Each structure stands twice: as structure tokens, then as C-alpha cells.
Structure 1
Amino acid sequence: MKTLRTPHDWSDAAAPLDPAQAKSASGKRLFFASFLGTMVEWYDFFLYGFIAPLVFEELFFPKLTPLSGTIAVYATFAVGYASRPLGGLIFGHFGDKVGRKSMMLVTLLMMGVGTALIGLLPSYGQIGIAATYALVILRFFQGFALGGESAAASLMVLENAAQGRRGFLGAALQSAGPLGVLLASLAVFLVSRLPHETLLSWGWRVPFLLSAVLVIIGMYIRLRVEETYAFKKQQGQQELARVPVLETLRNFKWPVFVVLVVSITESTFYYLTGVYSVSFVTKTMHMPGSVAIGAIACANAFALVSVPIYGALSDRLGRKGVYLIGIVASAIYLHFFFQLLLGRSPAVIVLAVVIAVGVIHAPMYAMFGSFYGELFPTRVRFTGFSMGKAFGTVLGGGIAPMIAATLVARNHGDPSGIGVYYLCLAAVALVVILRTRETCNADIAE
């Protein structure tokens, strides 16, 4: 016979989970919130890089020659990186003073609004030069938001992770980046199949406007997470930095320099192989854009798996060893990458981009979620991370496509100069990593 439950029984049944269960559930929710938001941010930011070479020359730079139009498109792409240091400084300051969670919410909202507004922009043919100016301003707005997001989500996961799993969880979070890029490339791949007139009139707008739906979902989930343990500990002990940027520059110059240099190298390699390759294949080789976009989609799908694997490996071998694998391999591979593309075989193009992004770039990118933050104490971690990463990405990936396009143009279509350009960057990063302390066993709750 079924026993009736008393109100006392109901109270017991509704009791909260024990501390270990509660911490596990909270950790999973925090990771998912950070992952989803990071995915949306990277979808928004890279959408421009994929659509711009296909239609933006005609829509926003119609008065320029094809070569000048390509350079102008990538110059506008670089604007999104020029604003990242400013975003990194401002969000870094408030992230170390107010907390990581609030910065995650603000940056996601800003990025979503900026992306949706790009999708609503009139073209040059409709409002003239004002359209071009508006595009540049919104691109600046996107970069400003990403300057804070890239640190906020990483630190939310890093500061709540167990010591022996920081590399894996940090890299697993970073795989949200390839997923966002994958979704962006798939969205552009689908609209690129439309007739060119349809693509120019309204097709290019659809992927930008879809971002609004993703941002609403991401905001809802992020509102439900708690602040990190490490930040709350500093806050409770009243040990927060008074002016984080000044303390960072005064006492932590070397860690900022390390993050700066490795960010330059990592982002340059990615943007040469995973972004500029679209323009190289379509504008220099005159092949369909769907070939390059399809290759990037496959590469980022592969990176979804490879990035967490490299992160787990760094928990055993250390961050430096894994990063060095990426630096050496990338310096060698880039001398062959564009020659593989020039073979004009769609299958070889896909394989070349998959190896570049999914195999060689992955060990450098995997360290983003653990190594950078581990170099700093909690009181200036957001600021130091943001400053080094934001400035490094501007000086690396932000200008890499423009430099590559200029080198190819000056050499009459010969891409060999790109390999030499990257080799110089990789050599500096190699020396810096060798001189940097290992961080995989560091106590980051200080």
C-alpha cells in the first residue's frame, strides 16, 4: 500500500543538493553559459570576415578598383581589432573591480546589437558614403565588445576549475570559438549559394540578423551563473586592485609581454590560413567562394575535437610544451600552405586548411583558456589577460589579412613573402615561450 507523504516529507524531498552536488551543477551551468556566449561572440565577429570578401566590395566600396576594394574590406576588418585594446582596458578594469560575470553580460549584449545593426545597414548605393562610415563604426563596436569577452568567459571557467583540469576545461571552452566560426562559415556557405543578385540584395543580411536570437538565449543563461570563487575570495579579503591597469603595468610587465607576443603569433597564423585564404582563393585564384568557406567549415569542425585534446595534454606535459609544438609546426607549414592552395584542387584546399586550423593552430589556441590567465594573480588577472590578448590580436590577426593582400599584390600574385613574414613572428614567440615559467601547477586562487 502506498504511504502518504507528509509536509515534512515534502520539505525533505525539496532540500537542496549536498555541497559537492551543488558545486558540480553550478560548474556545469557556468561552463555551458560561458561556452554558449563565447560561441555567439565568435560567430558574430567572424561573420564579417567571411561575408566581406564576397559582397562588401560591391555594397560598401563600389568606387574602388578590385585590389583596392579587397584591401579596404580587410582594413575595415582590422578596425574591429583596433578597438579591442580599448575594450580590453575598460572591461579589464571593471572585471577586476566589479567582477567577471557582469562583464560577460555586457560584452555579449554589445556584440549582439552591433552584429544585428550591420545586418540592417543600407548599402552605398542607397545612402552613399554614410553606409561605409556606419560599417566602420559598427565594426569598431564589435571589436570593443570582444576585447572584454575573450577574457571574461575564459576567467569564469579557469577560476572555478580544479587545478589538474584547467588546461582541458579552458581548451574545451575555447572550442566554442571554432564552433562559432563553423556556424558562421556554414551560414555564409548557404547564402553564397544564392544567385548573386539575391545575395547582394538581402541574402547577406540573414546570418547577421540570426545573431539576435542567439544573443537572447545566451543572455538568459548567463544571468543564472554565479561569480567565480577566486574573485569572491579577493573581494571578501578586500584585496582588489585600486587601479588594475597601473598595478599590472608596474608589477606584471613580463606576463603582459608574454601574452602579447604569443597572441600576435597565434592570431596571425589563424587569420592567414583561416580568414585570408577566403580572399586568396576567390580573388587571386578566381575560384568559387564556396570552396574556401567549405574548407574553413571542415577545419573548424575538426578543431572542435582537437582543441580540447591539446588542452588535456597540457595538463600532463605543461602549457609551454604544447604551445611550442604549435609555434614550430606553424612556422614550417606556412611556407607550403599557399602553394597547396595554388594547386586549385578543391580536395587539397580543404585538406590544407584543415591541417592549418584543426591540427597546427589548435595547440596554440588551446592554451588561450588556461596559460594566459595563469600568468597573473586574481587581483589583476582580467586586466593583464585582456591587455596582452587584445593588443596582440590587433598587431597579429587584425592586420595579417591586409599585410598578406599587400604582399601578394606587390609580388604579382606570388604568396611566398607571407611565409617569411610569419617566420619572423614565430621566431620571437619561440624565444619568449622558452624564457617563460611553466604555469600548469600554479595556485591561481591567490
Structure 2
Amino acid sequence: MTIPVEPTPLRPRTLGADTSAQVPPPTDARRREIRRVVLSSYLGSTIEYYDFLLYATSAAIVFAPVFFSDLSPVAGTIASLGTFAAGYLARPLGGAIFGHFGDKYGRKSMLLVSMSVMGAASFLIGLVPPATAVGSWAAIILVLLRVLQGIAIGGEWGGATLMSLEHVGGRGRGFAAAFTNAGAPTGSLLGTLALALVALLPEDDFLAWGWRIPFLLSAVLLAVGLFVRSRVSESPVFREALERSATQASGVRAAAPIVSILRRPRNLILVAGGCMASVAIQIMFATFAIGHATKSGVARSDVLLGFALCQFVAIFALLGFARLSDRVGRRPVMLAGLGVFAVAIFPVLALLSSGSALLVTLAFVLGFSLVQSATFGPMAAYIAEQFGTSARYTGASLGYQAATLLGAGFTPVILVSLQAAANGSTTLVGLYMIGLAVVSAVFIALSKESKDRNLDTYEH
């Protein structure tokens, strides 16, 4: 992994100016530390998204017969995806909580807490008894654990992104920050492969206990993640900001980070609206596309393996688009991705409906690995660069989690409902996704390009 790096100098800069020429070359020790931080963010995000997106895929193909067996198949699927939405409702709360303490006391400690909460909740999901054993309590417990997942990932994304972004500081920071987003397809890949393997079991065994195995493996991943994350240093940009705040005149009390963000919410609104479609596309493929392809006649294990392949390709595609955004800007790359998606959505839906495992895999690779990655790769830097250091954890977390709530929280339920209303046709599904892409493009166009913006400005 080669990452262009610049240490962040401990001196003030002017917001918006590119001062890369003033920065001395990094030492070997500094390069090693930056690589360790980026690897930590990548592994931590991988583990968190393994847990979070494993739930998404399970909600599409498992939870309806296990926890909502007394409902019709369509109603059971909608109810199952409704529990999935509970995690997205909780994510802004997690962003506010972890963002506040992360801006006050540091990024590293909050990341350790968020990972612990996520790992514990996912492990416990694997132990929830079915509805046949405890009735409606099964769904209630499932929702509560899903809420804990949402709170945890609400704090994870912002902190992991900032650790990479603020350690690199200058050129190449979009590429470095994108390793946090690369954890999403990596985690989803691992979760999908785990589900695909247990899906080879006989149907009764898979629904009775097989699906639980990937959730129980979260305990092993949690131990590995905590070990790696505990060995990295705190963000130098945050340490400098903390030193500056300590020199303020006595009696001067800074506003809480969330208050600072909400007093001037323009950037928060722009990034939430601008990134809404990207996360909607992501979750459309992780839930609706998998379920639709399965119902169209492709074996569940073949669909999951096709989705796993597209996740593998997406890891490298989004990193490539992030590096491109370091050269040409975040906005052009993200806008191009949304434009191509709007053109490609109906051909992709036709491939998903084909009943062919090969064509379904092609749909995943084209629609997710390539198009969605163009919007998702630059996103981490695009969001974080809109906020000053004193409220960056809070602003980035709230911005991203608001985008996920708007774009992904209810998208699976909406898409299944639109398809049911159209008697199985995907026309309304395609139109809805095009509408989201257009709205996000408008918000991105209204925002300012940020690839050359300095990170050590203290105020939001």
C-alpha cells in the first residue's frame, strides 16, 4: 500500500490555501505511523461493515422466515427490512454522541468504544431465538440490537475517516481517507462469503442455525480489530487543536461541537443531500437486488457469490476513484458517477431480472463495483473537508449518517413496496433511484470543491 503523505505542520494556515510546498518531507517513522493508521481505519471499518451489512443481506433473505414466519412472504420481507431501517434511524444519534466526545477528547478512544459496541451487538444477534420460541420478543430483541449497531457505526465512520485524513493532511488525503470507505465492500465481501458458505446447507438447517454462524464470528473479528486499533497514535491535527484550545483565555468556553455545526448548518445539509444517493445505491444492491435476483430464479448461493465478486472489485475501484479525486476534485468524480448511474439503472435492473447467474453478476459489477464506487470513493474526504477541526468529528459523522438515513434507511422497504405496487415490475424502482441521483447531484453542485482546503483550521 503506497500512500502519498505529508505530516501536518504545527503552525497556522489560511483556510483554502494549498500550502503543500511548505511541508518538509516525512521521516521513515512518520511514514510507518501513517500506514499503520490507514491500515487501522481500513480494518476497523471492514469489521464494522461486516457486522452492519451482514445484517442487511440477512434481512433480505433470512429474517422474514425466521422472525416473521406468521406473515405473508411480502409482508414478512417488508417487516424484516423495517428492522434493518432501525439501525439507520440510530446512526445520527451515534454520530452526535461519538462526534461530541471525539471532538472533545480524541478520535482514538471513541473508535475503540464504537468497535466494541458493534462487535457485541452482532454477536448477540446470532443468539436471538426464533419467533417460534419466544414469539414477538424475537423481533423486539432484534430491533434493540440493530439500534446498538446503528449507534456504533454512527461513531465509527467519522472517527476512522478523520484518523486517516488528519494523519496524512495534504496531497493524497482523499486516497488515504477512502480506505475507510473501502472497508464497506471488504466487510460486505466477508459477510457475503460467510453467508454464501452457510447457504449451501440444506434449507431447514440454514434457517435453523446456519445463518447465525457469520454473526457469531464477529467475536473473533472484534478481538483482532481492537488489537490493531489500540496500537495507533492520536490524530496530530486534533492534538494541535487541543493545544490551541488550552491556550484560550480563562473563562472563555467554546461552544459544544454540535452547537457549532447547527448554528451554521449549510455544509451539513449539502453533504447529507449530496451523499444520499450513493448510500441508497449501495444498500439497493445489498438488499433489493439480491432478493430480486433470487426471486427471478437464480440460486441464492450463486447470487451471493456474484455479489461477493462485485464487492472485491469495488475495493479497488473506489480507491482508484478516490485517487482520481485528489487530482481533479471530489465533485467532478462524484457527479460523473451519479450521471452514469441514472443512465445505467434500467439496463442493470433488466440484468438482475434475467434469471442468469452470469448476467446478475455483470449487473452487480457494472452498477455497484464501478458506478457506485465513483460516488463512494471520494466521499470520505468530501464530507470531512467541509468542517473545521473543532467540530470535524461531529460534522463529518452527522453529515454522513444523515445521508445514510435519508438515502438508505428506508430504501429497501420503499423499493420492495414500489415493486409490489407495480405488480412485480421494476419500472418504479428505477425511476425512484434516478430521482435520488438527480437530487444528490444538485446538492453536490451547490457545494464547494474541497480537495485543496487546509485541515488545520480550528473553527467550523
Shared fold, TM over 0.5? yes
Q: 1:277 aligns with which of 264, 267, 289?
A: 289
* SS, match of residue 70 in structure 2: coil
What do the CA deviations read for 1:73-129 (whole angstroms, capped 9, x no partner)?
111111110110111111111111111111110100000000000011111111111
**Residue of 119, 124, 128 corresponding to 2:131:** 124
In structure 2, what is the Cα distance between the partners aligned to 1:224 and 1:406?
Answer: 46
Q: Could you state the TM-score of these two structures normalised by the residue count of structure 1? A: 0.93
Bigger drift between 269-278 and 81-90 goes to: 269-278
Where 2:341 maps in the other structure, the secondary structure is helix
1:191-206 map, 5 Å: 191-206=198-213
CA drift at 1:275: 2.4
**Residue 17 of structure 2 aligns with which residue?**
none
1:50-85 CA-to-partner distances (Å, cap 9, x unmatched) read 223332112110110111001011111111101101
Secondary structure of 1:361 counterpart: helix
One of 363, 376, 389 as aligned partner of 2:374: 363
Uncovered stretches (5+) of structure 1, i.e. residues with no partner: 1-17
CA distance in 1, matches of 2:62, 2:145: 17
| Deviation of the 1:206 alpha carbon | 0.7
Note if contact 1:79-1:136 (Cα within 8 Å) is conserved in structure 2.
yes
Look up the match of 1:222: 229
1:401 aligned partner, one-letter code: P
1:294 is aligned to 2:322: no
Q: Which amino acid aligns with 2:45?
A: T
Code of the residue aligned with 1:248 in structure 2: it is: I
**CA–CA distance in 1 between the matches of 2:298 and 2:78?**
19
Whole-angstrom CA distance in 2 between matches of 1:121 and 1:210 = 15
Deviation of 1:27 after TM superposition, in Å, equals 1.1
Give the structure 1 partner of residue 120 of structure 2.
113
CA distance in 1, matches of 2:379, 2:153: 14
How much has 1:241 moved relative to structure 2?
4.5
Runs of 4+ residues over 6 Å off in structure 1:
none
In structure 1, the residue matched to 2:162 is: 155
**Identity of counterpart residues, as a percentage?**
37
Structure 2 counterparts to residues 292-371 of structure 1, below 5 A: 292-371=303-382
User: Which residue number in structure 1 is paired with residue 385 of structure 2?
Assistant: 374
The answer to whether residue 192 in structure 2 is matched with residue 185 in structure 1 is: yes
In the other structure, the counterpart of 2:263 is 250
Q: Distance in 1 between matches of 2:244 and 2:394?
A: 19
Question: What letter is aligned with 1:110?
Answer: V
1:416 shift after superposition: 0.5
Cα distance in 1, alignment partners of residues 283 and 178 from structure 2 = 19
The answer to whether residue 424 in structure 2 is matched with residue 413 in structure 1 is yes
The equivalent of 1:100 in structure 2 is 107
Given that 1:96 and 1:241 are in contact with CA atoms closer than 8 Å, whether structure 2 keeps it comes out as no
Correspondence 1:54 to 2:65: no
Alignment of 1:380-419 (within 5 A): 380-419=391-430
How many positions carry a matched residue from both structures? Answer: 427
Instruction: State which of 138, 145, 149 in structure 1 corresponds to 2:145.
Output: 138
Distance 1:150 1:178, change over 3 A: same
Asked whether the equivalents of residues 110 and 155 of structure 2 are also in contact (C-alpha less than 8 Å), the reply is yes
Structure-2 residue corresponding to 1:43: 50
Q: Does the 8 Å contact 1:171/1:310 carry over to 2?
A: no
What CA distance in whole angstroms lies between the structure 2 residues aligned with 1:61 and 1:287?
24
Q: Distance in 2 between matches of 1:348 and 1:241?
A: 56
1:152 positional shift: 0.7
Distance 1:241 1:229, change over 3 A: farther
Query: Is the Cα–Cα contact under 8 Å of residues 271 and 444 in structure 2 kept in the other structure?
Result: no
Deviations along 1:156-215, whole A, 9 cap, x unmatched? 000111411011111233212111110001000000000111112221111001111011
Question: 1 or 2, which has the higher helix percentage?
Answer: 1
TM-score (normalised: structure 2): 0.90
Question: Residue type of the partner of 2:449?
Answer: E
Q: Distance in 2 between matches of 1:423 and 1:31?
A: 34
Q: CA deviation at 1:19?
A: 7.6
Deviations 1:414-445 (A, max 9, x none): 01001211222222222222221111111111
Cα distance in structure 2, aligned partners of 1:418 and 1:19: 50
- Counterparts of 1:126 and 1:435 in 2: how far apart (Å)? 53
> Which segments of 5 or more consecutive residues in structure 2 lack a partner in the other structure?
1-24
Query: Match of 2:276, as an amino acid?
Result: I
Name the amino acid aligned to 1:216: A
Amino acid at match of 2:331: K
Alignment-mate amino acid for residue 37 of structure 1: G
